[in-house]
Structure 1
Amino acid sequence: MIELSFMMQYLKKPRATGAVLPSSRYLANKMIMDIDFKRAKCIVEYGPGTGVFTEKILENRNSETTVILFEYNEKFYNLLKYKFKNEDNLFIVHDSCENIERYLNKYNVEDIDYIISGLPFASLPKSTSINILEETKQLLNQSNGRFITFQYTLLKVKFLKHYFKDIKVKREFRNIPPAYVLSCINK
């Protein structure tokens, strides 16, 4: 059912959805691999879609960790609100992550330790990608903040290096299509 809903959203808005199917659990595990859940006070997720990465984050976080999700797609936003309605310290925002600072102020968040992204940077307008990455770099914890995203090609690595000097790349073949996880350190 979720796969069909995801596919319909892709057909309606391919540039915003970016994939035909939700990410696999294997990709989700690789996406959270570099998160120090004991230390993390705030984790933000851009474009959670159906919540595959969100589930892993919520399973592993400590109870004090604040999690903020930014979902622009109304169908996915409503799904996430229903799916995670009983979670404490979870805020689900129906807006572009370009407006992240407004919500950090609203929820009294001063420091972000990790930003996990399911955004399709390869298909987003360049100006949107620039706005998001500038905000991301500025708002991440300056000493050890990490931005973790995945892409289906390595075409955007050079673009990301304008914002993050250190990028670790891992490949996950057990996803449709196979994907690269890019773990970017804010130094």
Structure 2
Amino acid sequence: MRLDRLRLQPDERFAFFQGFLKNPARVGSVIPSSRFLERRVVELAEVDRAQSVVELGPGTGGTTRALLRAMAPEARLLGIELDADFVRILSPMRDPRLVIHHGDARDLERHLRMHRFPAPEVVVSGIPFSTMPRRLGREIVQAVFNVLAPGGRFVAYQVRDRVGELGREFFGRPQVQVELLNVPPMRVYRWVKPSVPLMQQAS
């Protein structure tokens, strides 16, 4: 693993800005996450205790690097990115624990099977749920719920509350924190998948 590649480079910051200009609904922010936000996400996800980790929308890889720094040597990380330009930026990252996949988050179960990943204990998402159609967002959250191991953590960092609304249907009420040392300030949502589905609990 090359440690010099675990820091976001200036040209990658510019690429992130370009991605926002090209498709703001998909990127959702002008600049990448701050180190303060990355640290909060990693801590809430308890990445150091996970063997199988998924990141939805890694972008230019800032949070990806933070996850890798916190992960155990034998853990694995699957990054699923829809933007082909970001995939090209992420591909040179040399870490044997990391797999970058160009695909749709709704097909999460298929991507996991393709790369022989077990049920993840952690799913981290930075994709902007508030700028996508509600039906699409719901399908992504349902896909996360379906594959997440019981007791697994789903952590999503967002500007607005849409993912909180969508997640309650499947996971129940989230833990919510706010990271002010980020541009823009971010809400960080955390759910733990119940061992018994909510529908069975209600019956």
Cα-Cα RMSD:
1.3
Equivalent residue letter for 1:120:
P
CA distance in 1, matches of 2:17, 2:38: 19
Aligned: 1:130 with 2:104: no
Aligned: 1:178 with 2:188: no
Aligned: 1:60 with 2:59: no
Give the match for residue 18 of structure 1: 28
**C-alpha deviation, 1:158, in angstroms:** 2.4
Aligned: 1:164 with 2:174: no
SS at match of 2:109: helix
String of CA shifts for 1:132-160, please: whole Å, max 9, x gaps. 11111011012x11100011123442222
TM-score of the pair, normalised by structure 1: 0.93
Equivalent residue letter for 2:185:
P
Of 71, 74, 80, 1:70 maps to 80
Change (3 A) 1:35 1:125: same
String of CA shifts for 1:11-37, please: whole Å, max 9, x gaps. 111111111111111100011112334
- CA contact 2:42–2:70 (8 Å) conserved in 1: no
TM-score of the pair, normalised by structure 2: 0.86
SS at match of 1:48: coil
**More helix per residue: 1 or 2?**
2
- CA contact 2:54–2:122 (8 Å) conserved in 1: yes
Number of equivalenced pairs: 184
Percent identical: 27
- CA contact 1:166–1:185 (8 Å) conserved in 2: no
Unpaired runs of at least 5, structure 1: none
Unpaired runs of at least 5, structure 2: 1-10, 195-203
Following superposition of structure 1 onto structure 2, how do residues 1-187 of structure 1 map, counting pairs within 5 Å?
Answer: 1-82=11-92, 84=93, 86-142=94-150, 144-187=151-194
- CA contact 1:23–1:52 (8 Å) conserved in 2: yes
